[in-house]
Amino acid sequence: MNSIHHDTPYTLWSAELGQPLAGPPLASGDLLLAPTQEPGPPSHQATLHALNLADGHLRWPKPLEYALVSGLAAAQTSEVSEPSEILILVATTSTDLMRGEGALAALDTTGEERWRWAPGVQRISAPTLVRSDDLSRSDEEAKVTTSNLAPEFEKAACVTCDARTFVVLDLATGEELTKAEMEVNASLSAPAVPDDVAYIPCRGPYLLAVGLDGETHWRFTAAGGADSWLDKTPVVAGDHLFAVLSTGAVLALRLEDGSLAWRRGVGPASKPLSPPATDGERLFVGARDGLHTLALDDGHELWAFPASRRITAAPVVTGGAVYVTCHDHHLYAIDAITGRELWRYEAERRIEVSPALAASGEPSTPCAIVADRGGTLLAIARPLSAAEHEAAGHWAEAASAYADLGQFARGAELLEVHGEPLKAAELWKKAGEQERAALQCEAAGAWQQAVELWTALGRPLQRAEALEACAQSLEGTPCGDEVHAEAWLAALRAFQAEGEVEQAATCQQEVARWRHQPIITMDVQHKGLVLRAWSRLQFVVRNEGYGPARHLVIHATGDEFEGQVMATRQITTLRVGQERTEWLDVRPLEHGDSVPLRVRVEYSDRAGEPQSYEHTIYIRVARSKAARSEGERIGVFDSRRDAEKQRERETASLRRQLEEARENLSLIEERKSQYVLEVDVPLQLIKEERHLTNRIAELEREVGVLEAAPPPLPATTHVLSFDRLSPLHFERLCLWLVEREGYTRAEHLGLAGSEQGRDVIAYRLTPHGEELWYFQCKRYGKIGARTLKDEVDKYLKLAQEKPHLLPAGVVFVVSCAVSAKAREEVGDYCDQHGLAYEFWALTELDMRVKRHPDLLREFFGLTP
């Protein structure tokens, strides 16, 4: 059966019963049960109406002479024979002592009696099923109900009769299982039976806790005297019982001994309240002035929903929404967390009984069924709450509903997990989470929006990376060359402003490509320069770009060289791929390993626009011809983007300098050996020896750093390049991240070969001590549920051999995206085995790492 969803309530069907309802309607299977009472007084005629839930047509009526319907319940039991497994319990109280009697009847769905319990008394309370398969319970009531029952009570119902007797009956036969006398008068309201104890409301300031075996556990007596009644069905949440006094107060009692935990007045003073309801986290109570919601721990008011008339019927809570009827003719749907109205529906007359929630029609439509004072039954198609949309897999509708409630972050998370990044970004912006909004814009490829967000956040490097990605996204689109060039130019300027040389060089090359411009590179070579001696510098200039360079001239300037300003001959045209060599004569005025020389190249591009680039190079100049080196080759304006090659060049240069220094040190040591006495060694020779020794140590350190460093990783897209890390470096990254995310005593087991999948282990602090957590580190390009479940199996197998190694939870740290389906499947598998779980997949991992600048520096060579 398919279900439909909608945004506003509307009437599915209505049915006229002719008499006001004596209690709330009850939906069970495909049947709707509605008890009515003949207007009075005196009122001796009651009727139980059974209608088709789908369309409201009457299936059968059951007249009840001289009776008042105390309450209904429906159960499903395999011990009931065909044609249905549904059993309807009808409790009645006699309205005529001479001609009627109180009874509890069990009917099947055709209205036939299966059994009848009539102990010869006048009054029978509303029944409560002991088993949690009471079909009239809400989802929340079932959620907070546990079962710790003796076998004989697993299929049973509880009532009180003539106010003084507590009875437990077998559902299948109506046989009495327990019968116990009470010392105070019970009301006609149903007992609350969350487990193996019944909590019985009374016609007085009392509330009884009676075991299903008939033993009284405790009796609570409220302050306020005989006029304060605890006569409405209480509710249980956690280890407390919540009840309402007829004088307008809510009481919280401890289940263990019935002692008072707290008391709060609600609504107008001394006015009665509705029976309470709970979702396990909050308490909901109707009053003369509307609906009030209290915190379970101390009773402070969380929110109040105002109404123009009183609310007397118990609220119904499901799917994060509270449904409440009011004497102002309305059914209200209210968000349980915020108290915000979701929608309302107006009936012709006031509504005095609780609604019944069910599904009606084909396709199946969620509805709320209410009855007004005139006896009109209305099936109202109700919009699903945000939580119900989420449970049904309507992700967009759920997110929209959460957003309508102002819960933008919850809606954004839902959209983010289920692959709606752009919509998620809009909600993150409304939630004030601009960084997460920017990340989701990037995930959606909405680069311009990401640029605006990073700009507003004052994050220039992320802005530059988004600009670069924006330019990349234009590749293959029909926009003109200049549009491409402008996009790359914006990224170039952003990277230049941040001093990101490599990224700027990448962008510069792209600008040149789209504008068909030349890219000039150059090598400066010499055969060894000597102080105050004329030598020649060779300039090998190349065009590695996309258009010709015209009228090219190379200038070399520097105060450390004679003449200060020198220029080569003009190269008329240097075409793409061409190389030319020019010479300049220079005479150094200083010596050393790094004498500066400023090199500038000037030329015109294809459009005739003048271009000029400058760079300072550092040249070795020997003090004398004897110390002159073999020469060197220095790259200038090198646009090559391979960082690994650049690192190799730097390493080679340092090694060459190191070898030179070692040779010079050998020469000095040889010269020192010519002196017999150490005191005869010239002071200058000793100074040079010390200088060279320090220089060698410095060069050895620099070479060691370069050779030990991992290959530089590109930072040209915003999401970090986890795939460029080796598996070992990825696990190291995970170890560092685990400690920075608040875990303690982290260990990297994967370094020595992980023990049954435990790459990293750590402990999480809780109010009750420490919890052991495992971290599964996967540097994969793609991953499925089966792979991750296999790792969980390893943990479970390890725990069988060593139970103390069973973790509280598992964190899956994965370098790729993980689909919603895989997350759900792995999450269900972890839940089945009692393991908590988290996913730190691509975008989550990227976000977590970027919180820690030291991780960016250590593993990615980035400056935050």
666 and 743 part of one domain: no
What's the CA gap between 152 and 173, in Å, rounded?
12
509 and 524 part of one domain: no
732 and 837 part of one domain: yes
691 and 781 part of one domain: no
Q: Of 513, 545, 569, which marks where a domain is finished?
A: 513
Task: Flag whether 249 is in a domain.
Answer: no
What ranges make up the beta strands (E) of 507-591? 520-526, 529-530, 535-543, 549-557, 565-567, 571-574, 579-586
564 and 689 part of one domain: yes
Token pair in block for residue 758 = 């435990």
Token pair in block for residue 797 = 């197998």
State how far Cα 100 lies from the chain centre.
Answer: 60
The mean pLDDT values, 10 residues at a time, for the chain of 864 residues are 67 93 93 90 84 95 92 76 73 85 93 94 95 44 53 91 95 94 95 94 96 96 89 96 96 96 94 95 96 96 96 95 96 95 94 94 88 94 91 88 91 89 94 92 92 93 91 88 93 88 84 90 91 91 92 91 81 92 91 88 90 87 86 72 51 74 84 78 79 80 62 50 77 90 85 62 85 89 84 89 90 88 90 93 88 84 65
- Find the CATH number of the domain harbouring 623: 2.60.40.10
Residue 265 has what pLDDT? 95
663 and 636 part of one domain: yes
739 and 817 part of one domain: yes
Q: Which residues contact 858 (CB under 8 A, 6 or more apart)?
A: 736
Residue 755 has what pLDDT? 56
Q: Are strands 301-306 and 290-295 parallel, antiparallel or unpaired?
A: antiparallel
Residue 142 has what pLDDT? 43
Task: Flag whether 782 is in a domain.
Answer: yes
528 and 653 part of one domain: yes
Q: Domain residues for 414? A: 392-513
DSSP state of 172: T
DSSP state of 315: P
465 and 555 part of one domain: no
539 and 635 part of one domain: yes
What's the CA gap between 159 and 150, in Å, rounded?
18
Task: Flag whether 574 is in a domain.
Answer: yes
- Find the CATH number of the domain harbouring 406: 1.25.40
Task: Flag whether 584 is in a domain.
Answer: yes
Left if phi > 0, otherwise alpha if psi is -120 to 50, otherwise beta: which for 290? left
Left if phi > 0, otherwise alpha if psi is -120 to 50, otherwise beta: which for 259? beta
Nearest partner of 174 among 113, 106, 125, judged by Cα: 106
pTM, rounded to two decimals: 0.63
Q: Of 686, 708, 730, which marks where a domain is finished?
A: 708
DSSP state of 481: H
793 and 818 part of one domain: yes
Separation in Å, CA 714 to CA 285, 491, 504, 855, 859: 60, 15, 12, 15, 11
Q: Of 708, 743, 765, which marks where a domain is finished?
A: 708
540 and 658 part of one domain: yes
Task: Flag whether 744 is in a domain.
Answer: yes
Residue 716 has what pLDDT? 37
Nearest partner of 12 among 370, 329, 365, 350, judged by Cα: 365
- How many distinct structural domains can be found in the chain? 3
